[in-house]
Amino acid sequence: MALEAGGAPGAPAAGAAGPHGAATHAVLGAVEQDERREALERLRRFGGDRLVRDMARIFVTDMPARLERAFVALAARDASGAAYAAHTMKSSGAQFGLGALARLCGQVEQAARAADLAGVATLLTDVERELAAGRAWLERELQLDAGEQ
């Protein structure tokens, strides 16, 4: 017997270019804002504010290290290492509703598995940007201070 449990559906990539330019960007930004809020509400339902803060602390401290591991793997032309690092970041980003970050990390993972290291290099700079934005949002949202990280 096989049982399945639901995961989060995807959402359009934030910041994607479209025929409606800034309006599209604003709508997509609003979609991700909803995803983030829903993600925090869901995590609070699972384990209260304590779970959210504990997971957020791990996110803000671990994610830069995972990104660094991806860059190190890239420099060493270690495609599987880059894929693994991206996979771990994708999972954590998705759990907080950071859809753009999760999608970019998924693209890094795919590029790495296809041995497209040039693609990995390009995408990792985008990941770095989205990760910085994601960390900043979490720190603001949860009022994490330096002493808690």
Partner 1 sequence: MTVVAVVEDNADNRLLLRAILDGLYEVDEYEGAETALAAFRRAAPAVVLLDISLPGMSGVELVRVLRDDDALKHVPVVALTAHAMAGDRETYLTAGFDAYVTKPIVDESALLRAIDRLTAGRRSP
Q: Which residues sit at the interface with partner 1, rule CB under 8 A?
A: 1-8, 39, 42-43, 45-47, 51, 54-55, 58-59, 62, 84, 87-88, 90-92, 94-95, 106
Render the burial of 112-145: b for 16+ CB within 10 Å, e for the rest.
beeeebeebeebbebbbebbeebbebbbeebebe
User: Between 25 and 42, whose beta carbon lies closer to partner 1?
Assistant: 42
User: What letter represents residue 7's amino acid?
Assistant: G
Closest C-alpha to 99, from 20, 35, 27, 7: 35
> In this structure, is the dihedral angle defined by the CA atoms of residues 62, 68, 72 and 77, taken in order, positive or negative?
positive
User: Between 39 and 111, whose beta carbon lies closer to partner 1?
Assistant: 39
In the complex, least distance from residue 93 CB atom to partner 1, rounded to whole angstroms? 9
User: Between 18 and 33, whose beta carbon lies closer to partner 1?
Assistant: 33
What residues contact 38, with CB distance under 8 A and at least 6 apart? Answer: 97
In the complex, least distance from residue 18 CB atom to partner 1, rounded to whole angstroms? 26
Distance between CA atoms of 112 and 21, rounded to whole angstroms?
30
In the complex, least distance from residue 53 CB atom to partner 1, rounded to whole angstroms? 10
